[in-house]
Structure 1
């Protein structure tokens, strides 16, 4: 099905691994020109660059530590040098850690908030001059907001805040035709899962698959499907919403 995305322009943060990588490649295959970013050099960066080159289109993979406001501004300056507008922004870059709340250091709270929330705010704010009627802004959220998960209070707080941010911005920029939504994820198979010892991986897959209505984990491609829909005109009346891509997890 042609979603009418060919020739559109997108910024996807944190796009060299996991869910972000799946989103970047799905957009590129749909004919979207994509800029994405990464924090540290790795083989994931080089392999993504190769795949994007083989896919065709005008793409860039840029190093940027989004926990640093100056680097967020620089990233968007580079995007503006390439293009005069953006049709899609996906706030995917994020960080997580597992720490008992009573022992949660202020520095770790600030790191998670800075990466997951403040960076998304700054990306959107710096992207505003490039957004236009029909542009779509999507932030990657988490079903942890509904479930509440021990040891992740700081992470969950940032994902809940993204919902409030998106709903407020949907109201503020609705008259301009710019849409803001959140895609809330359940458990998705990524490199982190596949990098676990076999017995630990099997336990994780069984445990979380049993919590879903579909009886399995999700894939980055399935997350990308929701992003493609929210980027297209098929969702042009959807804004201020949270779309759950979680296999019916409970």
Structure 2
């Protein structure tokens, strides 16, 4: 199916690994020119650059730490200089840690909030002058906000906040034809899971497979499918929504 995305311009934050990488590659394969960013140097960024070169298009893989407001501004300046504007923004970059709430330091709270919430706010705010009618802004959240997860109060709070931010922006900028939506993700199989010790990985796979209606974990490609839909005219009347991509987890 031709989704009509060819020639569109996208920014995907945190796009060199896992879900973000799947989104970047899916967009590129559908004719979208993509700028993505990473926080730390490594083979993931270099290998993504090689894959994007093979696909073809006007792509860039840039280094930017979303916890630094100046680097966020620089990232969006690069989008302006390279593309002249944007049609799609995918807020994927996030950090997580597991800390008992009674031991959660202010520094760690602020570290998570700065990247996961303030970083998203700054990306969107800087992107607004580059967005026109028909543009789509997506932010990655988690199904965990519906049930809560022990040791992740700080992380869950930031993901829950994305829903309120998104719904408010959908109302405020609807007249400009800019759509804002959230993807609430279930458990997605990425290289993070593969890097775990065999016993731990096996336990997690069994636990979450049993909780999911489809009896399996999701893939980055399946998340990317939802991004493609929400970025296309097929979802032209969808805004202010939280779309679950979770395999029916319960």
Report TM bin, short chain.
Answer: over 0.9
Aligned pairs for 1:1-80 (under 5 A) are 1-80=1-80
Give 1:40 deviation, angstroms.
0.6
Which 5+ residue runs of structure 2 have no aligned equivalent? none
Counterpart secondary structure, 1:87? strand
Counterpart secondary structure, 1:208? helix
Partner Cα distance (1:245, 1:108) in 2: 28
Aligned pairs for 1:162-173 (under 5 A) are 162-173=162-173
Aligned pairs for 1:30-179 (under 5 A) are 30-179=30-179
Counterpart secondary structure, 1:46? helix
CA RMSD of aligned residues (A): 0.5
Task: Report the number of matched residues.
Answer: 250
Counterpart secondary structure, 2:132? coil
Alignment-derived partner of residue 233 in structure 1: 233
* Stretch deviating more after TM superposition (101-110 or 76-85): 76-85
Alignment-derived partner of residue 223 in structure 1: 223
Partner Cα distance (2:148, 2:228) in 1: 28
Counterpart secondary structure, 1:135? strand
* Structure 1: 4+ residue segments shifted above 6 A: none
Partner Cα distance (1:199, 1:118) in 2: 36
Alignment-derived partner of residue 249 in structure 1: 249
Give 1:197 deviation, angstroms.
1.2
Give 1:199 deviation, angstroms.
1.6
Partner Cα distance (1:169, 1:124) in 2: 10
Cα offsets for 1:50-89 (capped at 9, x unmatched): 0000011110000001101110001101111012211100
Partner Cα distance (2:204, 2:230) in 1: 30
Counterpart secondary structure, 1:133? strand
Partner Cα distance (1:188, 1:126) in 2: 29
Alignment-derived partner of residue 195 in structure 2: 195
Which 5+ residue runs of structure 1 have no aligned equivalent? none
